[in-house]
Amino acid sequence: MNVQGAWSQGVTGRGVVVTILDDGLEKDHPDLMDNYDPMASYDVNGHDPDPQPRYDLNDSNRHGTRCAGEVAGVANNSLCAVGVAFEANIGGVRMLDGEVTDAVEARSLGLNQNHIDIYSASWGPDDDGETVDGPGELAKRAFKEGIVNGRNGKGSIFVWASGNGGRELDNCNCDGYTNSLWTLSISSATENGDVPWYSEACSSTLATTYSSGSSLEKQVQTSTVEGEGGDREGYVELDTGHHLQLRQQPRETGTDVHSRTTGRGRVGRGAHSSTLATTYSSGSSLEKQVLTSAV
């Protein structure tokens, strides 16, 4: 991804707003709070403006905070890791910690569409190799409204993980979110450029980024809940690349971003034949991991 090259040119995500649609965001995390944006945040499950995750003994609601750390973890503070777009404004929508209905999805996808530039999501139908499902009518309407009118007419950008059902032979072509015309579908590769055990193959994948693989390969390091750092498997690095892209080209439309994502890609070793671009992520325990924040 050559993020250091982008940073050296002063492209750090400043002025770009991203929200993580997930299980919440620890807004007071020491590696995130300086970049926290309340206007890009909401608790759809609890019907209030505070996206703070619900805590339990298993830290089961840590995923949103981890994704946020990969995007906008503060740089040079000796904590956790540094986000790819470490000066981007980051928000979170708590919407997965409860019944996920069509209305919940639509409310999340439609949050402050003229303020938020990028919506990042890594959820969808069950990755069981059997389920075929996609957005309902309300969610479709929110997607369309964002694409047409979001970002003051330039179009909202919806970035989606392609799925973790590889072990179940799941196929992301059967996932109506990642296989949508309105989303940028992102898959993963290990540090060695191989396909991770959880990766799904499908023609809707527009690009691939580095993420975690086996226990012998490097893992993604990020933030986690309760002010800590940790490792995770993820796809968010390429998502954050879009934040840097928007910082450099703020007038780009959603269509421009789609075109740039696919037009500059190349198929990496071991990648699925439908993949158009690849970026680094964690692999086995013997390889370097991506560092980010955690709850």
Q: Name the residue type at position 108.
A: S
Which two tokens mark 270?
């071991």
Taking the C-alpha atoms of residue 53 and residue 27, their distance in angstroms, rounded to an integer, is 9
> Distance of alpha carbon 94 from its chain centroid, rounded?
14
Q: Catalytic: which of 22, 31, 37, 97?
A: 22
Taking the C-alpha atoms of residue 142 and residue 291, their distance in angstroms, rounded to an integer, is 33
Which two tokens mark 141?
């309407």
Which two tokens mark 247?
């910082």
The set of residues, in sequence order, having a beta carbon less than 8 Å from that of 130 and lying 6+ positions away, is none
Q: Catalytic: which of 34, 59, 203, 285?
A: 285
Q: Catalytic: which of 29, 63, 242, 258?
A: 63
Taking the C-alpha atoms of residue 199 and residue 183, their distance in angstroms, rounded to an integer, is 18
60 is annotated as an active-site residue:
no
Q: Name the residue type at position 230.
A: G
272 is annotated as an active-site residue:
no
Q: Which residues pair with residue 187 across a beta bridge? A: 208
22 is annotated as an active-site residue:
yes
Which two tokens mark 65?
């905070």
Among 283, 286, 124, 276, smallest CA distance to 196 is for 283
Q: Name the residue type at position 173.
A: N
Name the strands in the sheet holding 118-121, side by side, starting at the edge strand that comes first in the sequence.
42-43, 89-94, 17-22, 118-121, 157-161, 183-189, 207-210
- Helix intervals (H) in 120-224: 137-149
Q: Kindly list the catalytic residues.
A: 22, 63, 285
